[in-house]
Structure 1
Amino acid sequence: MMNKSESLVTLTNAEFKNTGLERADRLGKDLEWFKEQGYSIPEPMTPGKIYAQYLKDIEEKDPQAFICHFYMIYFGQSAGGRMVGTKVSKKILDDKELAFYKWGRITLWTIEEKNHCLEEIEESFKLSGEILRLLLS
């Protein structure tokens, strides 16, 4: 029988790969598009390199921590990131839809289930943001 940590490692290594949430290839397509438009793409900066290494380090050593980062990054991009991406596209990219913000079918979810989840995530950010603003005031 596995303990909680072992089961989370299994979940982290198996269930969080090939989910439809991956963004690297789509981000690469967007960067190529920006290059074609004449923009230079800077090399990754130190904070990004440090965070990427940190995630690699904790993926197996501390799966519970990894899951927290996975949740915040992926669901943050799927909800708030979509809204930001749409606004940026309208204001400065002539409505260009960036690949990073296109979400295909999430493994094991129907399109309706995925859309429902994305709507709920947006609602969660809105409502929890209101609570955070209240706490900070």
Structure 2
Amino acid sequence: MDGKLVYNTLEGIIDETNFPTYAGFKNTGLERAESLRKDLEWFKEQGYEIPEPMAPGKTYSEYIKDLAENDPQALICHFYNIYFAHSAGGQMIGTKVSEKILDDKELEFYKWDGQLSQLLQIVRQKLNKVAECWTREEKNHCLEETEKSFKFSGEILRLILS
């Protein structure tokens, strides 16, 4: 649920924005909130209780909202890390989880409309185009935000392990 909250927040910001930097990232094909909703519904149908989001997801969601209003370079860093990390490493993790505990059920989270590599390449090109307009300081600021992105994502991942 924490991951879903973060995806809902990020995708809501992108979908509802008039800010040109963010508007270019609407409907990229990488969106995961709807896929997560379907997967959670499936788990519920299997008899699992779906918890409410916890502090790590809520905190990250609020942080992303603040960045959207005040720090576009930092938000773009989180956008990149959330989508690219989960798509690249996520497929491998999803396959292992499916094999080990889900009787080979393929979760919606790991399905994309189209070739994932193509979707990632298109978004990567858009990201590079946005960053071309940034100053060196803005580019550095974006890169420096990576540590926070990993920290927030790691806190959510640790919920799974607890």
TM-score by length of 1: 0.69
Rounded to whole Å, the distance in 2 between the matches of 1:51 and 1:63 is 16
Matched, 1:31 2:33: no
CA-atom RMSD, angstroms? 1.8
Matched, 1:48 2:57: yes
Could you say what secondary structure the match of 2:109 adopts?
helix
Paired AA for residue 25 in structure 2: F
Rounded to whole Å, the distance in 1 between the matches of 2:24 and 2:39 is 26
Aligned length: 103
> Aligned residues: percent identity?
67
How big is the shift at 1:60?
Answer: 3.0
* Structure 2 gap segments, 5+ residues each: 1-18, 122-162
Could you say what secondary structure the match of 2:62 adopts?
helix
Deviations 1:96-136 (A, max 9, x none): 0000111113xxxxx4851785xxxxxxxxxxxxxxxxxxx
**Is the Cα contact below 8 Å between 2:39 and 2:109 reproduced in 1?**
yes
Paired AA for residue 118 in structure 2: K
Q: State the partner residue of 2:129.
A: none
How big is the shift at 1:57?
Answer: 1.3
Of 66, 70, 77, the residue aligned with 1:68 is: 77
Of 18, 25, 28, the residue aligned with 1:16 is: 25
Alignment of 1:1-137 (within 5 A): 9-12=19-22, 14-105=23-114, 111=115, 114=118, 117=121
Rounded to whole Å, the distance in 2 between the matches of 1:44 and 1:116 is 28
| Greater C-alpha Rg | 1
CA distance 1:76–1:112, change in 2 (3 Å): closer
Deviation beyond 2 Å, 4+ runs, structure 1: none
Paired AA for residue 20 in structure 2: T
Rounded to whole Å, the distance in 1 between the matches of 2:71 and 2:60 is 15
Rounded to whole Å, the distance in 1 between the matches of 2:34 and 2:50 is 16
Paired AA for residue 77 in structure 2: C
